[in-house]
Chains A and B, each alone.
Chain A
Amino acid sequence: MTSPASSPDAALTARGLARRHRRRGRDVLQDATFELPAGVICALVGPNGSGKSTLLDLAAGVQRPTAGAVEVFGQPARTAHPRVAYLAQERPLFRGFTVAETLRFAARANPGNWDADMAERVADASRFDHGERIRDLSGGQRTRVALAVALGKRADLLLLDEPMADLDVLARQELMGLLLAHVAETGTTVVMSSHIISELADACDHLLVLHEGRVRLCGGIEELTDAHAVVTLPGGADQLAGHVVVESRAAGRGTTALIRPTGVLPATWQVQQPSLEELVHAHLGPTTAPALTHLAANRPQDTAA
């Protein structure tokens, strides 16, 4: 049953989602509410320990929520969802299998739903002997095989936890290119995490920022940067009253701040659009600005080919 709150074209929806590992522990993820429209390529960013892997685990059905709900295409998240592929951080593969056996096993686990061509291209036989066992592979090679298993499955939602970690620069560019070209053809929704925003800035059109288990920002990258401004003004921060101040600091005799303008800005202020890095970093600091998780213009209008 689709609950009334989730819109029909949402790929991933969370409402009040929380997860606590130990009974008296703190919430690793708390009160997460957001919605990702189908077809977006979303960067999931935040510092180490901000809850990224937990969120992906919950979306993949590997962990269960302590509170709230997470839905995939309008249905509660569950493991082995035919429309979801998950690359977990620990790259779970059978260590005794060879590369070839791993791919064959994955093909058999996804009958009628397996893109052998894609899997082969990602695993790239020329790079290492497919007779080698998973346990003998380097971290980067293991990531390559795990990514091949994830991309081989014809999924509508790809959940990728640090997909490019332990890959060298060339492999990153190559695999990210393959992934994005695949997505351009299929319209697959992607959520990929990294603690380095610059790594994902060019690949993604959507952003989900986590900080200490809380969602700080969620939306289209263009809409989010449009909704913020970096302003430099003569005088103190008191002049910013009325706008939502995400971060402000003294700049000589004046003030520099990253704000969400709520009206026309004075002509004497110098106004710039923030870069994605500035936007993310400002939201990871000790800010009193409320989270921004839904914008008035909420649909990515750019997906038509």
Chain B
Amino acid sequence: MDGAAVFAFRIDRRSGVASYLQIVQQVQQALRLGLLEPGDRLPTAREVVEATALNPNTVLKAYRELESQGLVETRRRHGTFVVGTLGAAPADSPWHAELADVAGRARAAGLEREDLAALFGSVLDGLYPRIPPNTPEGSR
């Protein structure tokens, strides 16, 4: 165990989102926000198990999922490292300006924040398939 783990997972047991998926999503989120970058080390599965009190298989499943998405890589005896990146849309991208423009016009037309959020959510749902949180992927 060299060096402290740089990333601490928080598991919300009441969220209704499967614990392994929470781990996956927290890594994805950190990648999007630039809190994790290629080369960064994730805590070992054992460290995550100790910190979260989750079943070891749950943690391994999350790490395998992250590996299969090409986001992390486990090197024997060295640990698990970030290798991928997510999010081609930093705050200064042209997409930000376009979205801000649309949102500004929607507000001028009288839409509330929640109206716009719901609309945007439904547009996203139409474009991107969603992973249902409570369905274990068909690994049988």
Asked if B57 is at the interface (CB within 8 A of a chain A CB), the reply is yes
A183 and B19 contact, CB distance less than 8 A? no
Contact partners of B58 in chain A: CB under 8 A: 202
CB proximity to B under 8 Å, residues A193-226 = 198, 202-205, 222, 226
Q: Tell me the minimal C-beta distance from B84 to chain A in angstroms.
A: 22
A180 and B56 contact, CB distance less than 8 A? yes
A204 and B50 contact, CB distance less than 8 A? no
Contact partners of A203 in chain B: CB under 8 A: 53-55
Asked if A177 is at the interface (CB within 8 A of a chain B CB), the reply is yes
Asked if A273 is at the interface (CB within 8 A of a chain B CB), the reply is yes
Complex CA–CA separation, A222 to B51 (angstroms): 23
B45 and A184 contact, CB distance less than 8 A? yes
Contact partners of A180 in chain B: CB under 8 A: 49-50, 53-56
Complex CA–CA separation, A202 to B56 (angstroms): 10
Asked if B130 is at the interface (CB within 8 A of a chain A CB), the reply is no
Asked if B135 is at the interface (CB within 8 A of a chain A CB), the reply is yes
Q: Mark B31-65, 1 if CB is under 8 A from A, else 0.
A: 00000000000000111011111111110110000
A184 and B51 contact, CB distance less than 8 A? no
Contact partners of B56 in chain A: CB under 8 A: 41, 180, 183-184
A-B Cβ contacts below 8 A, count? 55
Contact partners of A173 in chain B: CB under 8 A: 53
Asked if A305 is at the interface (CB within 8 A of a chain B CB), the reply is yes
Contact partners of B61 in chain A: CB under 8 A: 302
Asked if A288 is at the interface (CB within 8 A of a chain B CB), the reply is no
With contact pairs A181-B46, A181-B50, A302-B60 given, residues A41 and B55 touching in the complex (Cβ less than 8 Å): yes
Asked if B140 is at the interface (CB within 8 A of a chain A CB), the reply is yes
Chain B residue nearest in CB terms to A181: B50
Q: Tell me the minimal C-beta distance from B4 to chain A in angstroms.
A: 16
Q: Tell me the minimal C-beta distance from A56 to chain B in angstroms.
A: 20
Asked if B13 is at the interface (CB within 8 A of a chain A CB), the reply is yes
Q: Tell me the minimal C-beta distance from A284 to chain B in angstroms.
A: 22
With contact pairs A180-B55, A185-B46, A202-B53 given, residues A297 and B140 touching in the complex (Cβ less than 8 Å): yes
Q: Tell me the minimal C-beta distance from A184 to chain B in angstroms.
A: 4
Complex CA–CA separation, A184 to B48 (angstroms): 11
Complex CA–CA separation, A202 to B61 (angstroms): 13
Q: Tell me the minimal C-beta distance from B13 to chain A in angstroms.
A: 7
Complex CA–CA separation, A242 to B136 (angstroms): 26
Complex CA–CA separation, A173 to B50 (angstroms): 9
A residues in contact (CB < 8 Å) with B = 41, 172-173, 176-178, 180-181, 183-185, 198, 202-205, 222, 226, 273, 297, 300, 302-303, 305
Since A172-B53, A173-B53 are in contact, a sample of 15 more A-B pairs with Cβ atoms closer than 8 Å, ordered by chain A residue number, is A177-B52, A177-B53, A180-B49, A180-B54, A180-B55, A181-B47, A181-B50, A185-B46, A202-B13, A202-B19, A203-B55, A205-B55, A205-B57, A226-B140, A300-B57
7 inter-chain pairs at a CB distance below 8 angstroms, sorted by A residue, are A181-B49, A181-B50, A184-B45, A184-B49, A222-B136, A302-B57, A303-B57
Q: A-B pairs with the 9 shortest C-beta distances? A: A181-B50, A184-B56, A176-B53, A177-B53, A177-B50, A302-B57, A181-B49, A180-B49, A184-B49
